Amino acid sequence: MDISLVIPLLNEEESIPELSEWIDKVMNENNFTYEIIFIDDGSTDNSLDVIKEQAKKNNNIKALSFRRNYGKSAALNEGFSISKGNVVVTMDADLQDDPGEIPEMYKMITEQAYDIVSGWKKKRHDPITKTIPTKFYNWTTRRISKIKLHDFNCGLKAYKSDVIKSIDIYGEMHRYIPVIAKWNGFTKIGEKVVKHRARKYGKTKFGIKRFIRGPLDLLSITFVSKFSQRPMHFFGSFGLLSFFIGFIISLWLIGQKFYSRWFNISITKRDIIDQPLFFIALVLVIVGVFLFMSGFLGELIIKNDKHKNIYPQKDKVNID
């Protein structure tokens, strides 16, 4: 199969028929074999029924349904796991992305050997409250990841299937798939300017929360990707450093005490427990031991936690 389209959706009943027909038209014009995987992310409207209705007309349509809302990343993740195409394309269900861009993206992957082709909504049709924070967010992500993309969060992206099979996302991590992929060794990441349209039906599903959760997830993926396989390197090195400094200060204090006793001269009149240095040394030693222990526990956890199942609540949808 040439292309899998993975489409997460939450309450997009009005858009689905138009979107399915549009995709079908583009795919047929280009003679692609394809599948559309809709992932209903706990919709409370009739989205699931609308999908089933469409699937009767077009047997390239498949679907998964979450019993409750798990978020776009979880939806994408499940879609990825059942996709069969050589190239996997993700897009939003709200008709803001143009399926007409897909053939070109497909070519970039199959002929120019890109691992990922990300859409770039150069001319956006979104309110200003969204475009300005987005600029800042893209700039930060570019700095941290050193990937030269203008628009990390574009819903329309195409992947070589190996790429998506190698990643595991949840929370708001869909924004950082190129970053995760790069850390997994897929470095040929390209960009294509894509048409963007204003939302036709319904309204955006991400409120102000996206600006809080997004950066937090960037922090955790940075941390996880760098240290999750070797927590001792992170905690242990800080732990040792802290312990060592505390230890040296303690030695100094003890030495001072003995010295003044021995020669019967007082370097300082204060008792050891009256000196701030003593408390600093104490804290450094204790914190050092704790950090070291955290690293050690981290190592034990990853040894036991190789196969975790994060979304046990997924249902297969039978379309008859």
Binding site for ligand UDP (CB under 6 A): 8-10, 12, 41, 69, 71-72, 75, 92-94, 96, 155, 204-206
Min CB(291)–ligand UDP separation in Å: 37
Give which of Mg ion, ligand UDP, none residue 71 binds (C-beta under 5 to 8 Å, depending on kind).
ligand UDP
Lookup: tokens for 15:
């858009």
For 196, how many CA atoms within 13 A lie in the half-sphere containing its CB?
16
Give which of Mg ion, ligand UDP, none residue 166 binds (C-beta under 5 to 8 Å, depending on kind).
none
Min CB(49)–ligand UDP separation in Å: 16
Give which of Mg ion, ligand UDP, none residue 9 binds (C-beta under 5 to 8 Å, depending on kind).
ligand UDP
DSSP β-bridge partners for residue 40: 9, 65
How far is residue 6 from each of residues 85, 93, 105, 200, 294, measured CA to CA in Å?
Answer: 10, 10, 15, 20, 39
Give which of Mg ion, ligand UDP, none residue 93 binds (C-beta under 5 to 8 Å, depending on kind).
ligand UDP
The reply to whether 151 sits near Mg ion by the rule CB under 5 A is: no
List alpha helices for 263-320, DSSP H: 276-304
Consecutive H or E run containing 54:
helix 47-57
Q: Which is nearer to ligand UDP, 213 or 257 (CB)?
A: 213
Burial 230-253 (b: 16+ CB within 10 A, else e): ebbebbbebbeebbeebeebbeee
The reply to whether 94 sits near Mg ion by the rule CB under 5 A is: yes
Contact 292, 239 (CB under 8 A): yes
Min CB(94)–ligand UDP separation in Å: 4
Min CB(97)–Mg ion separation in Å: 8
Min CB(39)–ligand UDP separation in Å: 7
List the one residue from 96, 134, 145, 250 that touches Mg ion (CB under 5 A): 96
Q: Which is nearer to ligand UDP, 40 or 115 (CB)?
A: 40
Contact 159, 87 (CB under 8 A): yes
The reply to whether 15 sits near Mg ion by the rule CB under 5 A is: no
Give which of Mg ion, ligand UDP, none residue 131 binds (C-beta under 5 to 8 Å, depending on kind).
none
How far is residue 253 from each of residues 138, 262, 307, measured CA to CA in Å?
Answer: 51, 14, 49
Query: Could you give the dihedral angle defined by the CA atoms of residues 95, 91, 208 and 145, in that order, rounded to the nearest 10 degrees?
Result: -150
- Alpha-carbon Rg of the chain, whole angstroms? 27
Stretch that binds Mg ion, among 15-23, 87-95, 179-187, 219-227 (CB under 5 A): 87-95
Q: Which is nearer to ligand UDP, 131 or 204 (CB)?
A: 204
Min CB(41)–ligand UDP separation in Å: 4
